[in-house]
Amino acid sequence: MRRFVLKTLAAGLAASLLGLPALAQKSPVEVEFYYPVAVGGPITKIVDDMVADFQKENPGIRIKPIYAGSYQDSIAKALTALKGGTPPQLAVLLSTDMFTLIDEDAIVPIDTLAKSDADKQWLGGFYDAFMQNSRSGGHVWGVPFQRSTIVMYYNKALFKEAGLDPERAPATWAELVDSAKKLTKKDASGNVTQWGLEIPSGGAFAYWLFQALTTPNDAILMNEAGNQVYLDKPAVIEAAEFWHDLSAKHGVMPKGTIDWGTTPKDFLEKKAAIIWTTTGNLTNIRKNADFPFGVAMMPKQKRGGSPTGGGNFYVFKSGTPEQQQAALKFAQWATSPERAADWSIATGYVAVTPAAWQTDKMKKYAQEVPAAAVARDQLEVSVAEFSTHENQRVTKVLNDALQSALTGAKPPKQALTDAQREAERILRAYK
């Protein structure tokens, strides 16, 4: 009898132990992920699909994307949530937001999470031009995800019509002016019906397009520590005068400011023969252009080059160690060669590692769409995007100065001298 009771108890205990894993099953680590949706195209679906694929492979992690609006909206929402005690654990924000996030004590250096040999190899695998906006004070604070450079799109059919070689884009500032003059058309009343060139200057990104003029003129706008700017240097003023003269003197570009969002639209509607915009617009233009177009690097003055641009992954300090590791794992997964290739093909952004360009799918894509490789090749001469402490304030000072110069409210030299003085006042506390 005693043996029977013991046997029954043992069986019951075994049964209850078998049930324990189901009861004590660990709930997945949840990671809130802020993502800026205002980057063009059906991007939310691409991100949702990416998250679903990651979760299939990593059932112990649940990524919750929160679509936060433009980059400017996203950083504002992330910092508001931080102050309210409910920040995300992961976000894609501008690479130029790095100093702001450091100053707010919002993020953890990624190199303090990525400690294994494999992690270190991953961190060392990105293009250096993209990492220039990811490093400060001996740490890596963000990793490149949707990154870009500025490229020149031109309508080959309109080039041919104007007697220009459709297979050769303007390679210097002088050639740019000459080609744009031939491509500018007027009606019988003297009204322009087709502009030779459009460089966006309105809104938040004027400073970035300006770097596509200062870089070829061999001018750098800020130091690596983000506490000093060089806005009143002769080469910088020269670049602003050239930009102003494209409309005021050469008549090849609309006067005043040109909206960032309408520039690709004007190109697709054949209202502009040449435009400068992000390589992130490549997929949009490929899908919607009903004419052959070319993509080229920035025209040279003293050298070639463009600023890099776009967003980095940042891991927030407020996450638990488990959430931080889960966020890191997602960032590593999303930037792995195959995934970086998928993302580049789907969006037009530059695949952020040389390894991604070695995948079969990326080799095939680069062969089919040679334009995609232009931004990658330009990385060799690209520079860090303008970024400082108090970044939004300092960038606004520069944007306002450029708009003053382009609208004729102030001569370029005065606008940039005033901007330098104001930027120095803002940055004094960081020296």
Over residues 179-229, the pLDDT tens digits come to 999 999 999 999 999 999 999 998 788 999 999 999 999 999 999 999 999
Q: Which of 326, 314, 342 is nearest to 34 (CA)?
A: 314
Amino acid at 304: G
Q: Which of 334, 344, 353 is nearest to 371 (CA)?
A: 344
Written out in words, the top-level CATH class of the domain with range 29-148+309-381 is: alpha beta
The predicted pLDDT at position 41 comes to 52
For 193-320, where are the alpha helices, taking DSSP H only? 206-214, 234-248, 262-268, 282-288
Is 24 strand, coil or helix?
Answer: coil
150-308+385-427 is a CATH 3.40.190.10 domain: yes
Q: Are 338 and 62 in contact (CB under 8 A)?
A: no
CA dihedral in degrees (135, 136, 140, 145; nearest 10)?
-40
The 3 state secondary structure assigned to 230-245 is CCCCHHHHHHHHHHHH
The rounded distance, in Å, linking the Cα atoms of 91 and 63 is 11
Q: What is the DSSP string of 140-159?
A: E--EEEEEEEEEEEEEHHHH
On average, the pLDDT of the chain sits at 92
For 150-204, where are the alpha helices, taking DSSP H only? 156-161, 173-183
How many separate helices (H) and strands (E) can be counted in the chain?
19, 11
Angle, alpha carbons 119-121-123 (nearest 5°): 70
Q: Which of 254, 260, 242, 251 is nearest to 412 (CA)?
A: 242
Question: What band does 4 get if pLDDT is binned at 50, 70 and 90?
Answer: very low
The rounded distance, in Å, linking the Cα atoms of 142 and 139 is 9
**What average pLDDT does the segment 383-399 reach?**
96
Share of the chain above pLDDT 90, in %: 85
Count other C-beta atoms under 10 Å from residue 367's C-beta: 10
The pTM for the full model equals 0.88
| Token pair of 29 as six digits | 């680590």
Over residues 125-174, the pLDDT tens digits come to 999 999 999 999 999 999 999 999 999 999 999 999 999 999 999 999 99
Q: Which residues of the chain are in CATH 3.40.190.10 domains?
A: 29-148+309-381, 150-308+385-427
Question: What band does 17 get if pLDDT is binned at 50, 70 and 90?
Answer: very low
The rounded distance, in Å, linking the Cα atoms of 315 and 141 is 8
Over residues 29-65, the pLDDT tens digits come to 999 999 987 654 578 889 999 999 999 999 999 999 9
